[in-house]
Chains A and B, each alone.
Chain A
Amino acid sequence: MTARTLFDKVWDEHVVHRLSEGPVLLYVDLHLVHEVTSPQAFDGLRRAGRRVRRPDLTLATVDHNVPTTDRLRPIDDPIAAKQLEALSTNTRVFGIELFDLDSPNQGIVHVIGPELGATQPGMVIVCGDSHTSTHGAFGALAFGIGTSEVEHVLATQCLVMSKPKTLEAHWTGRLVPGVTAKDMILDLIGRIGTGGATGHVIEYTGEPIRELSMEQRMTICNMSIEAGARAGMIAPDETTFKYLQGRPRSPAAGAWNAAVQHWRELHSDPGATYDARVAIDAATVAPQVTWGTSPGMVTSIKGRVPDPKQFETEAERSAAKRALEYMGLKAGIPLEGLPIERVFLGSCTNGRIGDLRAAARVVRGRSVAPTVRAMVVPGSMRVKAAAEREGLDKVFTDAGFEWRNAGCSMCLGMNADVLRSGERCASTSNRNFEGRQGKGGRTHLMSPEMAAAAAIAGCLVDVRGWNLADLPESAELDLAS
């Protein structure tokens, strides 16, 4: 039998039928739904008199649009409220489970899938959101789709898809302390560019990947789309199984062993080949900060804002020039020391409990600079509850951070959490596009540790060498359990 990659194995297991023109009907195990990209899909079903084929394999929550302030007050934005109401109605009519604003399970769709154990190795998972690639951290094939495809999956539980190519991103060596999964993925995007993996599924391999926690692996897979990849995958291992065991939607005790036995087969065979390959020495990766308006416009915190003239092509030169104008930056200035006004800790990239713990170790016993407004938006209400059990909320609020309810929040600024024009933000999110966090807002992407340090320092700063506080005792207990 020919050697197959992890991707090949998951793909092959889900081919329902090969169409005569080439693509396949691919079966979907888990369809995640949220309020922004689904109303038109449900409307399409209704108009065509179609049903949802497998409501039991479909899970909905509200995240993009929701306020992160007091949940007891009515929602100020009437248009957003209408969209949330539409999801509530649609899920009721079509028989789909919904974690609504009042649910303890509500949160960002890519945070709640894994934390509930609904995301499992070997699955095909789709959602009308490009960061669905997050779930690939479990060895699932997970990717974002448009609303027409959402409708297609609702109606048929399948997608018509041509087989993507594969790209192996292989790390060797060891990370330097203070360098995180976020830095690994930003560094990779900087190397291959925002279109570098278009048409491909990335598999992340190598010892530095094996050493990452599940949450750190999710951070890496999450930003696969920022390199243009359809999906990112990491082969499941003991870390994966340990994470999943005992979660509410994980296989029950009686089915657990059989599940793990199957999951153990989900790795690339020796000798399996990829269509492309990138090799990176983890020891060379420094804390990364974006300087421009695309995630590929990134460099080390010790770096300088590049001169547009140094780029090879005219397109790159004009893009860099535009980016510098938008970002209000001059070529050649060092990034370290650049003053910021806002800090955003959260998102499907870095809004998990591990991210909050890492940031809390930087923040504890220190204060947010008086010139900075900083906020923490936990990725889910479960993350929020866990953080509060551990006393992390107190660490953040004592330092001067705002402590919010769960949602996508200022990652995309669909709710009231936005930057004002010209405001500069250290953000743990995934996109620094023009206007992403608010029209005229200037986003610098970085790790939770780096964003926390920026909040304290009032400027971009290298977190390496900072003394890290111990977490509150309650957190240590939780970590040990």
Chain B
Amino acid sequence: MTPFVSHTGRVAGLPRENVDTDQIIPKQFLKGLARTGLGPALFYDWRYLSDGQPNPEFELNRPAVAGASILVAGANFGCGSSREHAAWALADAGFRTVLAPSFADIFFANCCQNGMLPVCLAEHEVKELFRRLAGATVERPYVLTVDLPAQRVHDEAGFTAKFTIDPYRREMLLQGLDEIGRTLREEPRIAAFERRRAIGIPARA
């Protein structure tokens, strides 16, 4: 997994609440066998008009946010389906981190599994980021830095916000660790647990 340490990049904003994973990646793109190549499908139904042309109204199609690698969104981002394709599509489209007041649990875990940092900020902080982003232009895109070791988000114009993240996730992301490899080191404990309780009949306390 690609480690996440500190990332500075252009910001795109999606000021909507309850953005569900069906929007992040519609079902017709879930039939593949690979984790990669899903970027073009990201927000497909919002991003394109029915004739296949980019929808100029869609927030992520603003020229000022082209090439963004940081997404700022409304509360409960990633709700609904467990499809990890949502995280894969965001990553494949170049996003390294998503900032929102809250995330759905499964989506949050899926981001972390892919070296993409989900950052929970306060409502007013996200609102302030949307305000600053509104002034972005092609010549002067809005840029943020998300610093995991310092657990801080900041721009060059005085915005700064601290965030929390559980120490396990933090370590996994900073090191880019292979979680399965790590758990397999606990094999003797897993085997002992299985011996303690007879598998196939219900567990006994």
Q: Please determine whether chains A and B interact with each other in the same assembly.
A: yes
**Residues of A in contact with B (beta carbons under 8 Å apart):** 9, 12-14, 16-17, 19, 21-23, 25, 27, 29, 36-37, 39-40, 43-44, 48, 50, 53-54, 56-57, 64-65, 77, 79-80, 82-83, 86, 120-123, 128-130, 144-149, 151-152, 155-158, 160, 162, 164, 194-195, 198-199, 225, 228, 230, 251, 255, 258-259, 262-263, 265, 294, 296, 315-316, 318-319, 322, 412-414, 431, 433-436, 439
| Closest B residue to A84 using CB positions | B31
**Interchain CA distance A436-B20 in the complex, whole Å:** 10
Q: Which residues of B contact A37 (CB under 8 A)?
A: 82-84
Does B189 sit within 8 A of A, measured CB to CB? Answer: yes
Name, among B102, B180, B194, the residue most crowded by chain A CB atoms within 10 Å (CB to CB): B180
A319 touches B113 (CB 8 A): no
Q: Which residues of B contact A123 (CB under 8 A)?
A: 202-203
| Closest A residue to B113 using CB positions | A148
With A83-B31, A130-B82 as contacts: A251 and B202 at CB distance below 8 Å: yes
A429 to chain B minimum Cβ distance, whole angstroms, is 12
A85 to chain B minimum Cβ distance, whole angstroms, is 10
Stretch at the interface among B32-40, B134-142, B148-156: B32-40
Q: Which residues of B contact A155 (CB under 8 A)?
A: 180, 183-184
With A160-B168, A194-B76, A434-B23 as contacts: A145 and B31 at CB distance below 8 Å: no
A414 touches B168 (CB 8 A): no
Complex interface residues of chain B between 4 and 28 (CB less than 8 A to chain A): 15-18, 20, 22-23, 26-28
With A21-B171, A435-B26 as contacts: A146 and B109 at CB distance below 8 Å: yes
A40 touches B35 (CB 8 A): yes
B22 touches A316 (CB 8 A): no
Name B84's contact: one of A83, A148, A296 (CB within 8 Å): A148
A22 to chain B minimum Cβ distance, whole angstroms, is 6
**Interchain CA distance A156-B28 in the complex, whole Å:** 31
**Interchain CA distance A255-B33 in the complex, whole Å:** 41
With A83-B33, A198-B105 as contacts: A148 and B183 at CB distance below 8 Å: no
With A22-B166, A40-B33, A414-B28 as contacts: A149 and B109 at CB distance below 8 Å: yes
**Interchain CA distance A230-B106 in the complex, whole Å:** 8
A315 touches B201 (CB 8 A): no
A251 touches B201 (CB 8 A): yes
With A13-B203, A198-B104, A315-B17 as contacts: A25 and B180 at CB distance below 8 Å: no
Give the 8 A-B residue pairs with the shortest CB-CB distance, closest first: A148-B113, A195-B76, A146-B84, A21-B168, A146-B110, A144-B82, A147-B84, A130-B82
Does B119 sit within 8 A of A, measured CB to CB? Answer: no
| Closest B residue to A431 using CB positions | B80
B168 touches A431 (CB 8 A): no
Q: List 16 A-B contacts (CB under 8 A).
A: A21-B171, A27-B190, A27-B193, A29-B203, A37-B82, A37-B84, A83-B31, A123-B203, A146-B82, A152-B183, A156-B190, A195-B18, A198-B76, A262-B203, A431-B20, A433-B20
Task: Knowing that A29-B199, A40-B84, A322-B16 touch, tell me 14 more A-B residue pairs with CB under 8 angstroms.
Answer: A9-B205, A22-B167, A43-B34, A50-B184, A83-B32, A122-B202, A129-B82, A145-B82, A146-B87, A148-B114, A259-B201, A296-B18, A433-B80, A435-B26
B44 to chain A minimum Cβ distance, whole angstroms, is 9
With A14-B203, A195-B75, A198-B76 as contacts: A23 and B168 at CB distance below 8 Å: yes
With A21-B171, A29-B203 as contacts: A319 and B180 at CB distance below 8 Å: no
A25 touches B17 (CB 8 A): no
Name B45's contact: one of A128, A162, A262, A435 (CB within 8 Å): A435
Name B26's contact: one of A9, A130, A152, A439 (CB within 8 Å): A439
**Interchain CA distance A253-B138 in the complex, whole Å:** 72
**Interchain CA distance A123-B113 in the complex, whole Å:** 25
